[in-house]
Amino acid sequence: MSAPPFTILVIPGDGIGREVIPAAVAALQATGLPLRFQEANAGWECFQRCGEALPPETLDAARRADAVLFGAVASPSHPVAGYRSPIVRLRRELDLYANIRPVFDDPPSGDPCARRVDLVVVRENTEDLYAGRERVEDGGATAIAERVITRRASERIARVAFELARARRAARGASDAPPAKVTLVHKANVLRETCGLFRAVALEVAQAYPDVQADEMLVDTCALQLATRPERFDVIVTTNLFGDILSDVACAWGGGLGLASSANLGERHALFEPVHGAAPDIAGKGIANPLAAIGCAALLLDHLARRAPPDIAPAIHAWSARIQRAVRYARTVGPHTPDLGGDAVTSEVTNAVIAHMLTT
Ligand code: NAI
Ligand code: MG
Instruction: Let me know whether 165 and 28 are in one domain.
Output: no
pLDDT tens per residue, range 115-172: 689 999 999 999 999 888 999 999 999 999 999 999 999 999 999 999 999 999 998 8
Higher pLDDT, 219 or 85: 219
Instruction: Let me know whether 247 and 103 are in one domain.
Output: yes
Instruction: Let me know whether 275 and 203 are in one domain.
Output: no
In terms of Cβ atoms closer than 10 Å to its own Cβ (0-12, 13-18, 19+), residue 141 is exposed
The pLDDT value given to residue 52? 95
Active site residues: 130, 187, 220, 244, 248
| Phi–psi pair at 178, nearest 5 degrees | -60, 145
Cα angle 62, 68, 72 (rounded to 5 degrees) comes to 105
Cα angle 105, 313, 62 (rounded to 5 degrees) comes to 80
Q: Residue 1 pLDDT > 60, yes or no?
A: no
The whole domain housing 59 covers 1-96+266-360
**CB under 6 Å to ligand 1: residues?**
16, 20, 72-75, 87, 257-258, 273, 276-282, 288-289, 292, 337, 339
Number of domains in the chain: 2
Instruction: Let me know whether 162 and 229 are in one domain.
Output: yes
Last residue within a domain, chosen from 200, 227, 260: 260
C-alpha distances in Å from residue 69, one per residue of 134, 151, 179, 263, 335? 29, 30, 33, 10, 24
The pLDDT value given to residue 109? 60
DSSP string, 160-200: HHHHHHHHHHHHH-STTSPPPEEEEEE-TTTSTTHHHHHHH
- What is the residue type of 278? A
Q: Residue 66 pLDDT > 70, yes or no?
A: yes
Instruction: Let me know whether 276 and 253 are in one domain.
Output: no
pLDDT tens per residue, range 12-28: 999 999 999 999 999 99
* For ligand 1, atom 17: residue with the closest CA: 258
Higher pLDDT, 75 or 176: 75
CA distance 138 to 147: 20
Query: Average pLDDT for residues 230-251, to the nearest whole number?
Result: 96
Helices 291-307, 313-333: axis angle to 10 degrees equals 160
